[in-house]
Structure 1
Amino acid sequence: MPENARLNDNLDEIDLEFVEREATPRFLMKLSIQLHLAGLSLSNTVSILELFGVNRARSTVHNWVQKADLQPESGQNPDHVAVDETVIRLNDEQYWLYAAVDPETNELLYTALEPTTNSVIAHAFFAELREKHDVEHAVFLIDGSHSLKDACRRHSLDFKYEKHGNRNSVERVFREIKRRTTSFSNCFSNAEADTADNWLRSFAFAWNQLI
């Protein structure tokens, strides 16, 4: 598929139903959302808009991303699921990002940002993951996390310990997320946890389109 056709397909996936009165052309709004989630800082995204003769504040683009409410497509049926948890810094506070990745496609299936990590939260994450995807017969790849093992057992899901191999997919995703959240301070500076959680799911949406 030509690159311009692929770009148009990706932009078509962004729903702008939230727009009521907005002077910015919808194509440029979608392009701005896509570019920011794909890797551009808010400042650089605003600079791209200026090339089209549109002047918008960084906060405006940030609000477009938030209101679009993007997230990975539901209804996937993976054979394997790599699940992990990692620390995310938010306003000098520590949060835990839970993520599930299909190692065969490297697609993010689901993410959740939590204030701590324990068996109850891990159980809830697996419950939400099962609501969104058909993972009953998938093999879950986990590391040494006791809470993740406990959650698999409570949900009667098949799992195995794997530190490398297919788990490299989720580690790759986490590396990119940490690069983004530490590099683009104008995205996570003074952000509420719900805002960051929504941004991370929007990132997952864009990640799946670009891989």
Structure 2
Amino acid sequence: MEEFGRLSGSIDQIELAFVEREATPEFLMKLSIQLHLSGLSLSNTVSVLEVFGVERARSSVHNWVHKADLQPTSGKGPDHVAVDETVIHLNDERYWLYAAVDSETNELLHTNLEPTTNTGLAEVFLAELSEKHDVADAVFLIDGAHSLQAACHRAGYDFRYEKHGNRNAVERVFRELKRRTIYFSNCFSNASADTADDWLRSFSFAWNQLI
């Protein structure tokens, strides 16, 4: 019942301002978006719609997720922020996924998908993170990413190298984020990096509602 309550609350937060002349009931659109972001494949999500007597293509669900423009809630003030960069593959090309997680709550705070990695891009990532959340006094936990260490140093943030300790719990968040990105790539083999970036932020929204 607790899981159902969190799922219902998450559905209520999905806005459908983009809808124009859509025949699908709004509740089923919201349910489809949440189910897919929570781990259900597009094919299985379409099958759920069919239970309600609604037939839609997989591309319809994909478009709903993309157009909903979901974002993690801003305005957090975490004490410790675990940051990470990891290589993912999209359309057989390598991209670098930057992610920041509140190590106490396991909430995803911000993600960025970049075609390469360097200190400049890490600085951009941290700047965007600071625009969304109050991280001025946070301690950043970094697992060996030299670009992130250099970016924290330049920005004047308190940071430390940590492979275990407070990072243990959030490593599963990073693993799940990477796993779902691989899964996303398999579903949308022709997706652009911008579309993948949007999807990752939508996934972050859903993840934060269900943890």
- TM-score tier after normalising by the smaller chain length: over 0.9
**Partner Cα distance (1:128, 1:187) in 2:** 29
Q: Cα offset for 1:174?
A: 2.1
- Alignment correspondent of 2:26: 26
- Alignment correspondent of 1:69: 69
- Alignment correspondent of 1:174: 174
Q: Cα offset for 1:87?
A: 0.8
Instruction: Read off the aligned partner of 1:36 and give its amino acid letter.
Output: H
Correspondence list, 1:93-108, <5 A: 93-108=93-108
- Alignment correspondent of 1:148: 148
Q: Deviations over 1:153-183 (max 9, x none)?
A: 1111000110112112332122112322333
Q: Deviations over 1:24-47 (max 9, x none)?
A: 000000000000000001010000
Correspondence list, 1:17-166, <5 A: 17-166=17-166
Q: 1:99–1:108: 8 Å Cα contact kept in structure 2? A: yes
Q: Cα offset for 1:208?
A: 0.4
Q: 2:185–2:191: 8 Å Cα contact kept in structure 1? A: no
Q: Cα offset for 1:143?
A: 1.6
**Partner Cα distance (1:98, 1:197) in 2:** 11
**Partner Cα distance (2:14, 2:176) in 1:** 22
Is 187-196 or 94-103 further displaced after alignment?
187-196
SS at match of 2:166: helix
**Partner Cα distance (1:4, 1:86) in 2:** 32
**Partner Cα distance (2:2, 2:107) in 1:** 22
- Is there any run of 5+ residues in structure 2 with no aligned partner, and where? none
- Is there any run of 5+ residues in structure 1 with no aligned partner, and where? none
Q: Cα offset for 1:185?
A: 4.6
- Alignment correspondent of 1:8: 8
Residues 35, 150 of structure 1: alpha-carbon distance in 2 compared, 3 angstrom cutoff: same
Q: 1:100–1:108: 8 Å Cα contact kept in structure 2? A: yes
Query: In angstroms, what is the RMSD of aligned CA positions?
Result: 1.3
Residues 210, 5 of structure 1: alpha-carbon distance in 2 compared, 3 angstrom cutoff: closer
Q: Cα offset for 1:2?
A: 4.8
Q: 2:82–2:101: 8 Å Cα contact kept in structure 1? A: yes
Q: 2:87–2:97: 8 Å Cα contact kept in structure 1? A: yes
TM-score (ref. length: structure 1): 0.96
Q: 1:62–1:187: 8 Å Cα contact kept in structure 2? A: no
